[in-house]
Amino acid sequence: MQPLTSNGQVTGRTSPSVIDLIAAVATGFAGSYGLARKDVPDVMPGVAIAISLVPPLAVAGVTAAAGDWGSAWGAFLLFASNVVAMILAGTIVFTLYGYHREAQTAPGFRKRPAYAVIVAALALILVPLGLTTAQTAREQVWLQQAATAAQAWAAQSGYALQDVSFDGPDLDVDIQGTGPGPPSSQLLARLRGQLPAGTPVVVNTINGGLVLIGRVPG
């Protein structure tokens, strides 16, 4: 059975960022516009829901069933941010189209508390999204530094660096070549100061399989 971490449709929805929130707002505008305009096909709101809400919720369920609670939380965070984004976009669009005047005639409707709830929800969802965005940015810097170190390490033995990536907490280094491989201890030494201390490093020699060579020294 193919692991979930190798499925791009899953991993792409477990680390949401502020960019995902902006994209969801744009999708919400499209769906709300379809509801507000009678001359727009009714399929547009359905498409907006299908691409924004269903996939992350499905990924949250699949990863939770697999016991990957970190990925499940990330997917649920994406689902929650998409819900807030679509509500925000819908509020703006319907207000511009004058629906707020009809809502004010409804018994018990109060505009300010409704807007306050939306703003509070948006602020609440921005906190974890901001943290995730910052973590993703840090990981990209680490990957660039690790790739530079690993490329020089592999080249000394005539090997070529194929890829450097994170698989959960592990750094995967894929190299390809023939003959004796470069010493593992030298890679760990090169990664010192380039990655957080204690990061597990796994080397894949393409033909030789995955080997945990140790952890980045402090």
pLDDT value at position 2? 47
Residues of the chain above pLDDT 90, percent? 31
- Tell which wins on pLDDT, 97 or 184: 184
pLDDT value at position 174? 92
pLDDT value at position 6? 61
Residues 6+ apart with CB under 8 A from 120: none
- Tell which wins on pLDDT, 143 or 49: 143
Question: Largest alpha-carbon pair distance within the chain?
Answer: 80
- Tell which wins on pLDDT, 10 or 140: 140
Among 40-44, 65-69, 79-83, where is mean pLDDT lowest?
A: 40-44
pLDDT value at position 79? 92
Average pLDDT for 197-218: 84
Residues of the chain above pLDDT 70, percent? 87
Residues 117-168: pLDDT tens digits? 888 999 999 999 999 899 889 999 999 999 999 999 999 888 999 999 888 7
Exposed/middle/buried for residue 152 (C-beta within 10 Å: 0-12, 13-18, 19+): middle
Rg of the chain over CA atoms, in angstroms? Answer: 23
- Is 72 within 8 Å of 11 (Cβ atoms)? no
pLDDT value at position 1? 44
Taking the C-alpha atoms of residue 103 and residue 62, their distance in angstroms, rounded to an integer, is 39
Assess whether pLDDT exceeds 70 at residue 194: yes
